[in-house]
Amino acid sequence: MKQPLHIIKIGGNIIDNPEKLSAFLGEFSGIKEPKILIHGGGKIATELAEKMDIPQQMIDGRRVTDAETLKLITMVYGGLISKNIVAALSANGDTAIGLSGADANSVLANKRPANPIDFGFVGDVAAVNSENIDKILQAGFVPVFCAITHDGNGQLLNTNADTMASAIATAMSGNYESFLYYCFEKKGVLEDVDNEDSVIPEINPSNYEKLKEEGKIFQGMIPKLDNAFSAIQKGVRAVHILQAEDLSSLILTKRAYGTRITA
């Protein structure tokens, strides 16, 4: 029987709130089975860009990553945020190591084509080096990945953290029983975005299509769900979308929290 591996992605809403981040990292440290943490960037890069007079362009809610912005997010994601998370995990007893996709040649990406929209130095995941990530896990380290990849030719690329988490979970499912968790500020996928108690407990391919047709899934949630179904189809055991505060309770007690995505 394969050993469980927990791949957990946290978003900006947790990173931007010191109290929430500290509480989450305490919960994360309570998970004693092999685990990987993947984080995005939050508002810090945007705030610093403003202070440094680096213009920021957003298209459909996605950041255009020009050369100056790439320098900035590399410093923020791979430096400031990564090292603060690693330091907090170390204080909680985890032997964490902060990584980008370039470290140990872990995550290779292709620069997104400029047509129809030029997003600049944005990468789409091409390959995950599961063998090297496994060596890090086997050595007893907790990998903490920021959402930066590389193209194999020395170019760093900004990559969607949800997609990166899905790709890593999929790649690791060859050696482990992979479980993928998207942790954010809501209790799960909500049928009514204004009602915290309207959590949809389980979504499968058939009711997913029905929920979309009925307009019951918030547009911003659809890319996350598409990533979740992609992971399930490629060997990930289960995907959970849930509130960060419920993560360790779900893993340790096996009780139902948030929304579970199944095949």
Tell me the binding residues for substrate: 41-42, 63, 158
Reduced to 3 states, what is the DSSP secondary structure of residue 170? Answer: helix
DSSP character at residue 254: -
The span from the CA of 103 to the CA of 115, in Å, is: 29
Residue 27 and residue 244 in contact, taking contact as beta carbons nearer than 8 Å = yes
Q: Which residues pair with 59 in a beta bridge?
A: 62
Residue 41's φ and ψ, nearest 5 degrees, are -120, -25
Which parts are annotated binding residues? Answer: 41-42, 63, 158
Residue 110 and residue 151 in contact, taking contact as beta carbons nearer than 8 Å = yes
* Residue 238 burial (CB count, 10 A): 16
The span from the CA of 32 to the CA of 41, in Å, is: 26
DSSP annotation string for 142-166: EEEEESEEE-SSS-EEE--HHHHHH
